[in-house]
Amino acid sequence: MRPLKLFISAFGPYVKEEIDFTELKDKSIFLIHGPTGSGKTTILDAMCFALYGDTSGNERNSKNMRSHHAQIDQITEVTFDFEIKGYRYRVNRKPEQIRLKKSGKGTTIQNPEATLWKLNEEEVLLQTGWKNVTDTVENLIGFKSSQFRQVIMLPQGEFRKLLLADSVERQDILEKLFSTEIYRRIEEILKKSAKEIKETIKDLEKQKQWLLKKAECETIKDLEEEIKISQEKLINMQEILKEKAEKVKYVQEAFIKGKEGNEKLKEKELAQKELEILKDKILYIQQKREMLNKAVQAATLEETEKSTRLRSKDQKKCKKDLEEADKKLNEAIENYKESEIKLEEENEKEEDREKLKKQLLLIESYYDKVNALENSKKKLEQLKIELHKEELEKEKVIRKLKKLEALLEKQSIITEEAKEYSLKLAGFKVEYEGLQKTYNKRKELDKLNNIYEEIKKKYDYSLEEYKKAEKLYSKIKKEFFALQEVYQRGQAAILASNLDENMPCPVCGSLDHPSLAKKEDWMPTEEEIKEKQLSVEKLEKQKDKMKDVVNKKELEKEKVENRIKTIQEELGENAYIKIQILKDKLQDKQKIFEEALEKSKKLEFYQVQLEKLKEEEKENKEILERIEEALKNKIEAYQKHEGALKEQEEAIPENIRNIELLKIAQKQAKEQLDKLIKSFEKAKDDFDKATKELTVAKTSKENAKKALEEAYTKYIQERNAFIKKLSEAGFLSYTDYEKAKKDENLRKQLEQEIKEFEGNLHAAKDRLNRAKKASEGIVMVDIVKLEKTLKNVEKEKVEALKIENTLLEKIKYNKSLLKDLVKLDNLIDEKEKEYSVVGKLSEVSNGVNPYGLTFQRFVLSTLLDDITIAATERLKLMSKGRYHLRRTMDRARKNAAGGLELEVFDTYTGMQRPVSTLSGGETFLASLSLALGLSDVVQAYSGGISLDTIFVDEGFGTLDPEALDFAMKTLIDLQKGGRLVGIISHVPELKERIDARLEVIQVEKGSVAKFKIS
């Protein structure tokens, strides 16, 4: 990345400044010079802010960088043009700030904005949005903000961090610079895989022990022996079962045979009893047979009896018919007399009928006149309807015009409102999008607060555990030192006990022993001392491990805390407003913006609608004029027809002036005439009918009298015949005959009962003969005893079967367990082989070695070697060959990770020592060398990353003139490779040595900067 142009507005001490780096032309090293506090570092801050949205030292908040010398109407912004690999870019950033409202009075909050363009040939917009621009810049340059400050822009004190950092901090810096996370992930994957395999082996072992426990055996061999024993028991039990089955078969056969014999004897007894019962019923059946014979004889007389009864009924009916005919004859005579009188009365009304006929003809003669009158009325009514219709149409058009007037007024208001919204749309959009960004940040802040609370809980817990461990370590360490002191005093006492007068002391060599060490009451053994020492070392490891956890948690906490502070600063007062309030505000702004957008889109539509309404109003006014003209013509026609109608009405009687009244009058006259005619015709018909009915009644009476005489004769004949047959059938009286009578169903029932009895008697005799024959030679046995014996032997067989099944299930179950155990054993062997490889790789990659060197640290140590080699070349030059930078495998603590510690080799003493022992000036030179070496290695390894520029901020004031010469020589060497070197310093000597300078001068209102090239 090479800077081209920097434009600063209301930023830091600069009100408005433009710095054109192209003025340097072929100068590759320049000095940014000026008094302390003039704004030298602010130039680097502005570059960093434009690229990443933060400052070079990351200590000054970009929101607070607004110049105090700027006017309220001046916007704080930075525009930076730079070049990467031949391509030119421009980035512009505006932080969140208070500005004047675009319309109206007062101020408003300007939301942060960022824009990135590509400038080759034509200006092309690449990205917008604060985070989006930052992400794109990171991709273009190849560094994040922290890496950029470590490699390209080295702020005050920042480039010393890599030199003086501890192993963990240095690992974090190098990991970010060289993107070696993949090696750490490999460590984690191997560790996780080894742990999973180990857990799998433990689970498989647990399953194996669980299966052995289920089998109630300690080993697989024991289970195999148990299966063998069970199989032997099964063979013996199967032999016993065979014997039991044969015994059951023998007893079953005896039981079945005894049961069949007993049943045959019982059948004989039952057959004998059944025959005796049937013999007792013979007399009863004989009586039933006699009853059946009489019933059959009585049935032969039923037809004769029936015929006699019918003749009796005919005689009675004929007698009743004669009485009825006599009654009807009397009624016919009475009707004939009444109809004759009625007919004479109707003949007398002939004159009335003729008069009604003439009246009807007169009414019918008015039909033409009434029809003509009706038509005139209808025509007049039609004219009236048309007149009313025109009036309604007129009212309708008037209403429509009033409605159109209201719509026109409303549409005009809507159109004007849409115009107003269209003008305000851009402002609404800015407000909405600004509030949307604020709301999103507020959501992120809440999320980070929750994360912070969780991390803080873990940190507090880790710190508490560490304090406990440290307290316990101190206690045990004191105990160890006390124990060691007692042990040493005891050893001294042992030496003293062996000293004689004039014998030299083995410790000091003195012959005089004025105060000999006294033997203690108790002295610890060497093993106890060692055991206590091991406890101390173990607790120290635990304490240091917990310290690392605390440090890690503290870093996590600080990282989240810093992010929270950054967002809080960006949000300002909004950071403390309830998120629901912000959400409600956002929804209100969104609603206003969407409403404005919707109405703006509809503005053209509203204008078209307004024109349509105006055109429609014009058309309706023209229609109203035409309707009023037509209405005038129709009123004149109506008045003319109304006069003609009055003349027609006067020529017709008032009671028949419409067709309906005429029809009613005609109908009434016709009804009266029809009534008189019908009354006459009815009287005539009634007289004719009465005459006929009288003749028929006389004939019916003669016939009924004759039928009665014939019916009586036939009844006497049938009655005599029945009495004769009753005597011939053997019945003494009609009562005997009535008792003997039975209906057909009862006769059939008696017949069936007799047949069944005879069949049952025959069957019972046959059954007894068969039972006697079947039971010959059979003796009754005790079946209960036999059944009890059978149950006992069957029970013994079932018990044996249960034992056999139990053994079979046990063998099957144990074989299944054995199969699973063998399978588990094979799996355990496979997993143990796999663990022997993966576990070893995991240990090696995760630093289980004398140096505590992990896989990632090994890679980083190789990179650090390259960096120290490159740095040493420059440090040798700047220190006149005295100092060399080296990586050492020594560790600051036993439990600390190794491989990334730095030391300096002093050629004057021939010894190495920690870098922290260097003086201030030496530290600056070593740090500068390391920073430049790091830049070389990063560029060499990163391929796509171009390090065309480096800025160094201060530190030269600590150097003596000779060291300053060497440092300058090193920086001048950098420009030979085409790299632009910028130095920020107020040291006067540098002003004399560097001919290209960016002079920063303090003025009344802030500072100004301009290049001076000599």
SS (H, E, C) 596-627: HHHHHHCHHHHHHHHHHHHHHHHHHHHHHHHH
The radius of gyration computed from the CA coordinates of the chain, to the nearest angstrom, equals 67
Answer whether residue 132 is part of any domain.
yes
Count of domains forming the chain: 2
Answer whether residue 186 is part of any domain.
no
Q: Quote the pLDDT of residue 116.
A: 95
Joined tokens for residue 93: 């950033």
Q: How many CB atoms lie within 10 A of CB 884?
A: 19
Answer whether residue 305 is part of any domain.
no
Domain holding 29: CATH number?
Answer: 3.40.50.300
| 130 and 199 both lie in a single domain | no
Q: Quote the pLDDT of residue 516.
A: 63
Joined tokens for residue 901: 């510690």
842: Cβ–Cβ under 8 A, 6 or more apart, which residues?
Answer: 187, 190, 191, 193, 194, 195
Q: How many CB atoms lie within 10 A of CB 396?
A: 14
865: Cβ–Cβ under 8 A, 6 or more apart, which residues?
Answer: 887
Q: Quote the pLDDT of residue 294.
A: 77
Answer whether residue 360 is part of any domain.
no
Q: Quote the pLDDT of residue 18.
A: 94
- The span from the CA of 838 to the CA of 885, in Å, is 37
Question: Bridge partners of 573?
Answer: none
pLDDT, tens digit, 9 for 90 and up, residues 30-86: 888 888 888 888 898 899 999 998 875 555 555 567 887 778 788 999 999 999 888
Identify the burial level of 777 via C-beta atoms within 10 angstroms of its C-beta, where 0-12 means exposed, 13-18 middle and 19 or more buried: exposed
- The span from the CA of 722 to the CA of 301, in Å, is 8
Q: Quote the pLDDT of residue 17.
A: 92
| 118 and 250 both lie in a single domain | no
| 101 and 226 both lie in a single domain | no
| 125 and 19 both lie in a single domain | yes
- The span from the CA of 353 to the CA of 360, in Å, is 11
| 7 and 91 both lie in a single domain | yes
312: Cβ–Cβ under 8 A, 6 or more apart, which residues?
Answer: 715, 719
Angle of helix 603-650 relative to helix 367-497, nearest 10 degrees, comes to 160
Q: Which of 778, 796, 818 is the last residue of a domain?
A: 818
Residue 30: in which H helix or E strand, if any? strand 29-33
Q: Where in the sequence is the domain holding 251, given as residue range(s)?
A: 191-277+758-818
| 234 and 138 both lie in a single domain | no
| 3 and 135 both lie in a single domain | yes
Answer whether residue 37 is part of any domain.
yes
- The span from the CA of 69 to the CA of 15, in Å, is 6
Q: Quote the pLDDT of residue 504.
A: 61
The CA–CA distances, whole Å, from 952 to 155, 316, 880, 909 equal 7, 154, 22, 31
DSSP 81: E
Q: Quote the pLDDT of residue 9.
A: 93
Question: Quick one: which of 970, 968, 975 has its CA closest to 989?
Answer: 968
What pTM does this model have?
0.41
| 135 and 203 both lie in a single domain | no
Q: Which of 818, 847, 868 is the last residue of a domain?
A: 818
Q: How many CB atoms lie within 10 A of CB 264?
A: 15
Answer whether residue 692 is part of any domain.
no
Q: Quote the pLDDT of residue 63.
A: 57
Q: Quote the pLDDT of residue 51.
A: 93
Answer whether residue 999 is part of any domain.
yes
Q: Quote the pLDDT of residue 742.
A: 76
| 131 and 18 both lie in a single domain | yes
Q: Quote the pLDDT of residue 957.
A: 58
Answer whether residue 261 is part of any domain.
yes
Q: Which residues of the chain have pLDDT under 70?
A: 56-64, 104, 150, 155-159, 488, 491-521, 890-898, 939, 942-947, 954-964, 966-967, 973-978
Q: Which of 818, 837, 859 is the last residue of a domain?
A: 818
The answer to whether the Cα torsion of 952, 957, 963, 966 is positive or negative is positive
Helix-then-strand count for the chain, H and E: 22, 17
Sole residue written with tokens 């505006």 = 94
215: Cβ–Cβ under 8 A, 6 or more apart, which residues?
Answer: 223, 226, 814, 817, 818
| 35 and 132 both lie in a single domain | yes
Give Cα 572 to chain centroid, integer Å: 36
Question: Bridge partners of 125?
Answer: 117
**Furthest-apart CA atoms within the chain: distance in Å:** 200
Q: Quote the pLDDT of residue 326.
A: 84
| 24 and 127 both lie in a single domain | yes
Buried b (16+ CB within 10 A) or exposed e, 649-664: eeebeeebbeeeebee
Q: Quote the pLDDT of residue 61.
A: 57
| 195 and 138 both lie in a single domain | no
Q: Quote the pLDDT of residue 724.
A: 79
